[in-house]
Amino acid sequence: SALEKSLVYAAAGERLSTVVRFTIDNSLSGLEFAAGIPGTLGGAIAMNAGTKNQDMSGIIADLLILDQTNLTLQTLERKDLEFSYRHLELPGIIISATLALKPADRTRIEQTVKQNLLYKNSTQPVAAASAGCFFKNPPKGMPAGELIEKSGLKGMKINGAMVSQIHANYIINTGDATCGDILSLKKHIEKTVFNTYKVKLETEVRVEGE
Ligand SMILES: Cc1cc2nc3c(=O)[nH]c(=O)nc-3n(C[C@H](O)[C@H](O)[C@H](O)COP(=O)(O)OP(=O)(O)OC[C@H]3O[C@@H](n4cnc5c(N)ncnc54)[C@H](O)[C@@H]3O)c2cc1C
C-alpha cells in the first residue's frame, strides 16, 4: 500500500550510484542490488539492469517519457511498461523516474550494499575497461560466463580485446583494443560456444552500427 512504500523521484541523467547513496541516506530499501552497476538511472531503467535475482522493473512506480518525434511528455505507470530480461520497450526518452521503495533500517541497507559490492568486486573484473556482461544468460542451462569458460575461452585475445580471466562473460580492453577487435572476439566466442554446446548466445551489450 502507499503507506508502506516511499517514493523517490529522480532525473534519468542522475548517476545510479548517486541514487543508491540517496536511498541509503534516507533509509529506503529496494535499490541495494544496483550497487556497483555503473551508468545513469535512465540507462539502468532502459536496460532493465540488475543481478541474478533482481532488476529495475521491481522498483519502478512510473516513468516520465519524452516522445522525440512530437516532443510530447507522458507518464507511464509500471503496469503499462513492458520489462523483460535486460530490456524495456520504450516509446521515447526517459526524463525521470519515480521509484517505489520501502522504509527500512539504514544499517541493514548499508550492510546489504556492502555485501553486494564485495561479491561483485570479487567475481567480476570491475577495474578493467569493459561494457559489463557481454552476453545474456540463456533462458535455461548454463549461464553465458560458464558456457564461455567451459569452451576454453578464458584469456583468449584478439589484439587488445580479451576474454576476462576473472569472469568469462566480460570482454575487456587491455589497452589498445579497437571496436573491431571486440566484435571479432564476440564473433569468435559465439562460434566456439555454438560449436561446443549448440547454444546461440545473444548479446546483452547493445552493438550499434555493426
Ligand atoms: C564493470 C561493469 C559492471 C556492470 N554490471 C552490471 C550488472 O551487474 N548488471 C547490469 O544489468 N548491467 C551491468 N553493467 C552494464 C551497464 O552498467 C548497464 O547497462 C547500465 O545500466 C547502462 O547505463 P548507461 O547510463 O551507461 O547507459 P548507456 O550504456 O549509455 O545506454 C544503454 C542503453 O540505454 C539507452 N538509454 C540510456 N539512457 C536512456 C534514457 N534516459 N532514456 C531512454 N533510453 C536510454 C541507450 O540508448 C542505450 O540503448 C555493467 C557494466 C560495467 C562496465
C-alpha 3 – ligand 1 centre gap (Å): 32
Q: Does residue 160 line the site of ligand 1, with CB under 6 A?
A: no
Same domain, 92 and 143: no
Same domain, 112 and 175: no
Among left, alpha and beta (phi > 0; psi -120 to 50; other), residue 65 is beta
Where among 68, 89, 123 does a domain terminate?
123
- Report the domain count for the chain: 2
CA 23 – CA 11 distance, rounded (Å): 14
Residue with CA at minimum distance from ligand 1 atom 11: 49
Q: What is the full DSSP assignment across 9-73?
A: EEETTSBHHHHHHHHHHTTEES-GGGTT--SBHHHHHHTT-B-SS-BGGGTEEEEEEEETTTTEE
For residue 14, the one-letter residue type is E
Same domain, 112 and 31: yes
Same domain, 107 and 139: no
Where among 77, 98, 123 does a domain terminate?
123
Known catalytic membership, residue 133: yes
In a domain, 208, yes or no: no
Where among 123, 150, 167 does a domain terminate?
123
In a domain, 210, yes or no: no
In a domain, 150, yes or no: yes
Print pLDDT tens along the chain (210 aa): 445 679 999 999 999 999 999 999 999 999 999 999 999 999 999 999 999 899 999 999 999 999 999 999 999 999 999 999 999 999 999 999 999 999 999 999 999 999 999 999 999 999 999 999 999 999 999 999 999 999 999 999 999 999 999 999 999 999 999 999 999 999 999 999 999 999 999 999 999 887
Q: Does residue 35 line the site of ligand 1, with CB under 6 A?
A: no
Q: Which domain holds residue 104?
A: 6-123
ipTM of the complex: 0.98
Residue with CA at minimum distance from ligand 1 atom 46: 43
